[in-house]
Amino acid sequence: MWAKRPGNQYKLVCGVAYTGLPIATVISTKQGVPMLIRRKERKGYGTKKMVEGNFEAGQKCLMIEDVIVSGSSVYETVETLQELQLSVQDAVVFLDRQHGATANLSAMGINVVSVVTMTEMMAILLKHGLVDHTTHESVLEFISSHQDTSIVTKEKSSSKEGIQVMDRKKRSFKSRIATTNQPLARKLFEIMSIKKTNLCVAADVTTSKELLSLTEKVGPHICVLKTHIDILADFSQDTVAALKDLAVKHNFLIFEDRKFGDIGSTVASQYSGGAYKIVDWADLVTVHGLPGDGVIKGLASAVNGRTRGCVLVSQMSSSGTLTSEEYIKSCGKMAENHTSFVVGFVSQSSISGDPRFIVFTPGVQLNKTTDGLGQQYVTPRAAVFERGADVIIVGRGITQASDPVAAAKKYREEAFLAYEERVSIQ
């Protein structure tokens, strides 16, 4: 690693906690270059210093790290050292997993050199017969389809430690509970990890009887039940009262896919008033970002102490959707500005790496690719593993199956397995 260092005249080396520390220690003693340690957590006693070691402002420091994925850990450390007026522009790492870290760090002014890249490592393993061709190819394919990591800097983040690492897809639902204060996001993470399901059923049926009977049957397999309450021919408040009882019995959230899309004052009335009184019974509702954040403020103004949240529709599943890249990005920003009410997104791609936000993906079915009316389907695995969905939304794949319970079990199993696989390897 020392031989690969990108420059010269380093007055200091600094290992990135934790595995970078012993490597930096060896380099420091062998090369006679003093070493710094940057704490992961600020000490609550003593000197309260974040960085230990002797240094002077302006000294050139080389960063040492074992493996980089997004580059976030390296950047966190560099940020602290730069605040202390140290000059840090170079890093040497052992293995570059090739998920965008070198580009991410380069955008932050940090030059990274690795001893070996994942592609090189795989070539070596293949040459020595330690992996087969199929594994080799699937790793290379995985690398090329996972270039979407990013780094969030202190200024961009408002999390407790000042740094929110953009690692949504690789974290377990359980570990993401601590990343958010939004009560329904926390509750949903908890339900998903306890019940071991990330399936949301879209209960698009037209009578209360069908709705309640379907919900009773699929209740044990879902984390969320999604409704379009205005397609019920016989809606009454009794229907939603019964639905709420089932939500308690089977531990799931109720999600009314109302897609609010008007000015704040109008949506506040639509949310709390009319025949449906959605705010009284729906934990979550969908919202279009189109009106700007007044729509979120309007809804939040009607909550009146209830525990409620919204999900921003940032990208639709239908063909010809007008949700452009620019629009998707703007929805992401809107969510960041309203984290007490926005639980996440409805999206077809990994819109955000922020672990606080839950990504729901509709347009999931095993046996079809379209419905003839613009809907486009992918499999549960493609939605979760490839596109980065946390929750899959399945309607007709379950409601119109000859055995909806068996179908629910199958979608549940596939989606959760894909999630477990995603978390284990990324």
Catalytic residues: 259
Nearer residue to ligand 5BU within complex by CB, 270 or 375 = 375
Q: How far, in Å, CA of 238 to CA of 243, rounded?
A: 9
DSSP state of 366: S
Tally Cβ neighbours within 10 Å of residue 201. 30
Q: Which two tokens stand for residue 148?
A: 């979407």
Q: How far, in Å, CA of 109 to CA of 103, rounded?
A: 10
Nearer residue to ligand 5BU within complex by CB, 10 or 360 = 360
Nearer residue to ligand 5BU within complex by CB, 246 or 394 = 394
Q: Which residue is nearest to ligand 5BU (CB)?
A: 395
Nearer residue to ligand 5BU within complex by CB, 109 or 374 = 374
Point out which residues pair with 378 in neighbouring strands.
364
- Does 268 sit near ligand 5BU (CB under 6 A)? no
Map the footprint of ligand 5BU across residues 275-334, applying CB under 6 A.
313, 316-317
- In the list 65, 66, 256, 257, the residue contacting ligand 5BU (rule: CB under 6 A) is 257
Map the footprint of ligand 5BU across residues 396-425, applying CB under 6 A.
396-397
DSSP state of 42: -
Residue 225's φ and ψ, nearest 5 degrees, are -110, 125
* Least separation in angstroms between CB 371 and ligand 5BU: 6
- Does 150 sit near ligand 5BU (CB under 6 A)? no
* Least separation in angstroms between CB 407 and ligand 5BU: 11
Q: How far, in Å, CA of 23 to CA of 121, rounded?
A: 20
Q: How far, in Å, CA of 236 to CA of 225, rounded?
A: 18
* Least separation in angstroms between CB 240 and ligand 5BU: 17
Residue 62's φ and ψ, nearest 5 degrees, are -100, 130
* Least separation in angstroms between CB 202 and ligand 5BU: 4
- In the list 201, 346, 383, 418, the residue contacting ligand 5BU (rule: CB under 6 A) is 346
Q: Are strands 358-361 and 284-288 parallel, antiparallel or unpaired?
A: unpaired
Torsion of CA 288, 294, 296, 302, to 10 degrees: -120
Map the footprint of ligand 5BU across residues 348-377, applying CB under 6 A.
362-363, 365, 371, 375
Would you tell me which residues interact with ligand 5BU (CB under 6 A)? 202, 204, 228, 257, 313, 316-317, 346, 362-363, 365, 371, 375, 393-397
